[in-house]
């Protein structure tokens, strides 16, 4: 009888402990969940505040870098497109016309083109000259000679020579004068040759050997030379 009572007491104690533990666990679980904010991020049972916008951007950037190359966008950025657009365009280092000393054999009013220097000199009185940067004929199209200016034209039209059209079949038979015309704002025709001293809208070509024999100048500088030169002005190309 005593043993039976002992067993009943032990069973009651175990039941009471079980109920107490269950209630405590429920209370602990309730408190744990209620203490966490709704926007908390759980990491292994712990919590921390939600990421700030700048942190989220860094996380997104890391995620993008972790993607396989095949899933990344192949479209170049606007900056890259801009850079590639102009990267292959050569730039001129020409700093503009200036007055220099001149001790050559030619008198005032003479135009002297020094092909090797990529310079044109308009001789002034008093041992001076105005020095202009020019573009000259590329290899196989350079020449030398002495002539006189036979014609002057403002915003001239252009008729490409037959030999040039044969080399470049896409050229028009005639192009009216204007800002897009290769002869630029002014042209000084050299004797009876096919060559001219003319303007250009390709400023990068000044100081380079790129033409088919003509002498190129910046538009604003050929306008200046044009105002100084008369028909019959002597031209020496060296």
Residue partners of 188: CB distance under 8 A and separation at least 6: 149, 151, 152, 196, 197, 198, 222, 225, 226, 229, 233, 235
> 10 Å Cβ neighbour count for 222?
27
- Residue positions annotated with a catalytic role: 198, 214
Interatomic CA distance for residues 190 and 198, integer angstroms: 10
Distance of CA 164 to the CA centre of its chain: 31
Interatomic CA distance for residues 158 and 189, integer angstroms: 12
On the 0-12 / 13-18 / 19+ scale of CB atoms within 10 A, 56 is exposed
Interatomic CA distance for residues 145 and 213, integer angstroms: 12
> Minimal CA–CA distance to 191: which of 238, 142, 232?
232
> Minimal CA–CA distance to 134: which of 232, 219, 194?
219
């Amino acid at each position: 009888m005593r043993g039976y009572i002992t067993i009943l007491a032990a069973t009651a104690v175990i039941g009471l402990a079980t109920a107490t533990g269950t209630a405590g666990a429920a209370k602990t679980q309730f408190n744990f969940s209620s203490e966490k904010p709704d926007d908390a991020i759980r990491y292994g049972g712990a919590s921390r505040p939600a990421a700030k916008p700048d942190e989220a951007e860094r996380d997104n950037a890391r995620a993008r870098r972790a993607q396989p190359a095949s899933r990344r966008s192949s479209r170049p950025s606007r900056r890259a497109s801009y850079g590639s657009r102009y990267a292959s365009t050569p730039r001129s280092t020409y700093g503009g016309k200036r007055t220099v000393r001149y001790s050559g054999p030619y008198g005032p009013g003479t135009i002297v083109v020094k092909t090797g220097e990529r310079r044109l000199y308009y001789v002034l009185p008093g041992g001076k000259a105005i020095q202009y940067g020019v573009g000259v004929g590329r290899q196989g199209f350079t020449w030398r000679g002495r002539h006189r200016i036979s014609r002057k034209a403002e915003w001239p039209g252009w008729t490409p020579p037959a030999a040039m059209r044969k080399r470049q079949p896409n050229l028009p038979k005639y192009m009216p004068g204007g800002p897009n015309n290769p002869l630029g704002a002014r042209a000084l025709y050299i004797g009876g040759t096919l060559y001219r001293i003319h303007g250009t809208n390709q400023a990068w070509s000044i100081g380079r050997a790129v033409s088919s024999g003509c002498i190129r100048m910046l538009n604003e500088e050929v306008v200046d030379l044009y105002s100084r030169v008369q028909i019959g002005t002597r031209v020496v190309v060296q």
